[in-house]
């Protein structure tokens, strides 16, 4: 499991002073980016050398508790499934031991023209 720490800034909140719902998607995107980097995958190099990019195909999300300005949060990312064409991740946003947000995210590989393609064998080997 990968963990990514972040702090809630004023710009992340809505009029009620809680994190605006769409910002959780930004938080988990940052967590995924750092998870991919920790796997040893350079996404810029993958795009330039192999003509492939990762794209989110599906997100199923549950908003459980609100986060507020200045909260310290942790985004936990773990792999649930992987096939030749997709990676399914579990991503949770935590404040201490409180689970605030939980999502299941499906990633796919696309060509630079936007066509779906199989995940390269080298990517499937190193992702764990």
Please return the burial class of 36, using the count of CB atoms within 10 Å of its CB with bins 0-12, 13-18 and 19+. Answer: buried
72 classed as catalytic: no
**Which is catalytic among the residues 14, 70, 72, 98?**
14
Q: Which helix (H) or strand (E) holds 124?
A: helix 121-126
| Rounded-to-integer distance, Cα 34 and Cα 39, Å | 9
10 Å Cβ neighbour count for 73?
22
Residues annotated catalytic, as ranges: 14
């Amino acid at each position: 499991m990968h963990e990514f720490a972040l702090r809630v800034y004023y710009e992340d909140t809505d009029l009620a002073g809680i994190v605006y719902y769409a910002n959780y998607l930004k938080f988990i995107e940052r967590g995924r980016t750092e998870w991919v980097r920790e796997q040893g995958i350079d996404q810029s190099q993958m795009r330039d050398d192999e003509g492939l990019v990762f794209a989110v195909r599906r997100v199923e999300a549950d908003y459980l508790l609100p986060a507020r300005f200045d909260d310290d949060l942790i985004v936990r990312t773990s792999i649930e499934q992987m096939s030749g064409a997709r990676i399914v991740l579990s991503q949770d946003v935590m404040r201490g031991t409180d689970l605030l947000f939980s999502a299941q995210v499906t990633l796919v590989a696309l060509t630079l023209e936007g066509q779906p393609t199989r995940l390269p064998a080298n990517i499937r080997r190193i992702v764990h």
